[in-house]
Chain A
Amino acid sequence: MSGTGVIITSFLTASVEWVEAFTIVLAVALAIGWRRAGTAGLAALMLLAVLAAFGAGAINAIGNLRIVQFVIGLFLMLFGLRWLAKAIARGAGIKKLHDELAEFAALSGSAALAETRSAILIAFQGVLMEGLEVWLIVVALGVQTGHTLDAAGASIAALVAVMAAGAALRAPLAKVPENTIKFLVGCAILGFGTFWTLASLGYAWPIGDYALPALMGFYAAGGLLTIRLLSRPEAIVGQA
């Protein structure tokens, strides 16, 4: 598989997560200042980088390619299924769409931000938690395809893009079409996971590598159909 798919998927996944992390850091920064909030966020990013290097090394150390493919495929299915289900639920109006402005308002009004130490912890934990899914994608997609550096580079590029947009706006990035991105990434990741898991179990895909885009297309078509069937009147059209 070419690195392009890995780069696009990593970039989109990371964008969604970094937008949420930025909202947290912004709220904390307005309470205790950019220097402390930024340092806490940076510390979390450094921990994530160590985790990514450790994770990639640990998976490579397994040695048996089929086991590696199975483990990675399983984790990608777990991740992709979660994102696809969430995007379908939000697209159909079963669950509320994620609202960065509401998240920001709730966090800004939180009593925890009044104390510097707990505010620093909130920034650190927020970036770390949002970054864990980025870590999973970078390690899983990167190791399996041999494009770990490309995947890591794409997630860093997403971080830079979100930071630049956030710095320019000086507000939560509420206009990012998060649910649409989650839907697309969910379909892509679930496609990767299905493809590799079955291949690791000894299944030879009849159409070879073309099965990968076919799987993604199947999940996308099925997801859109489900959204249409489950849609409630108040659902926002075009959100997934």
Chain B
Amino acid sequence: MRALVKALFGDAHNLGAVLLAVLLSAALLDTEARTLAGVVTPILLLGAAVYLARR
């Protein structure tokens, strides 16, 4: 069960990074700057990948 959860979600840092990116994107989509979501989200995710790689 634990291995299944890990295979689906990864560790807490991985899950947190993705949820943060999704929440920020969703918040951005509710503003007038919604067109930026397509640029901001990939940058956030790449930043998360760098953070996770350096851990």
In the assembly, what is the distance between CA of A44 and CA of B38, in Å? 40
Chain B neighbourhood of A88, CB < 8 A: 49-50, 53
In the assembly, what is the distance between CA of A230 and CA of B53, in Å? 10
* Beta-carbon nearest neighbor of A91 in chain B: B53
Size bracket of the A interface? 35 or more
Question: What's the nearest-Cβ distance from chain A to residue B49, in Å?
Answer: 5
Chain A neighbourhood of B22, CB < 8 A: 74, 77, 197
In the assembly, what is the distance between CA of A222 and CA of B48, in Å? 12
B46 close to A219 (CB less than 8 A): yes
A50-87 contacts to B, CB under 8 A, are: 74-75, 77-79, 81-82, 84-86
A226 close to B42 (CB less than 8 A): no
Chain B neighbourhood of A222, CB < 8 A: 46, 49
Contact with B along A157-198 (1 / 0, CB 8 A): 000000000000000000000000000001000100010011
Chain A neighbourhood of B25, CB < 8 A: 197-198, 201, 203
The one of A77, A136, A205, A219 that contacts B18, using a Cβ cutoff of 8 Å: A77
In the assembly, what is the distance between CA of A222 and CA of B26, in Å? 23
The one of A82, A94, A203 that contacts B34, using a Cβ cutoff of 8 Å: A203
Question: What's the nearest-Cβ distance from chain B to residue A58, in Å?
Answer: 13
Chain A neighbourhood of B9, CB < 8 A: 78
The one of B7, B8, B29, B34 that contacts A129, using a Cβ cutoff of 8 Å: B7
Chain B neighbourhood of A81, CB < 8 A: 10, 14, 17-18, 45, 48-49, 52
A86 close to B7 (CB less than 8 A): no
In the assembly, what is the distance between CA of A89 and CA of B37, in Å? 27
Besides A78-B9, A81-B45, A82-B52, 17 more A-B contacts (Cβ < 8 Å) are A78-B14, A81-B10, A81-B49, A85-B51, A136-B8, A186-B49, A194-B45, A197-B22, A198-B41, A201-B25, A201-B26, A203-B37, A206-B38, A218-B42, A219-B45, A222-B49, A223-B49
Q: Which 5 A-B pairs have the closest CB atoms?
A: A85-B52, A88-B53, A132-B7, A89-B53, A222-B46
Q: List 15 A-B contacts (CB under 8 A).
A: A78-B18, A81-B14, A81-B48, A85-B14, A129-B3, A129-B7, A132-B8, A136-B8, A194-B42, A197-B25, A198-B38, A215-B42, A218-B46, A226-B50, A230-B50
Measuring CB to CB, which residues of chain A are less than 8 angstroms from any residue of chain B? 74-75, 77-79, 81-82, 84-86, 88-89, 92, 94, 129, 132-133, 136, 186, 190, 194, 197-198, 201-203, 205-206, 211, 215, 218-219, 222-223, 226, 230
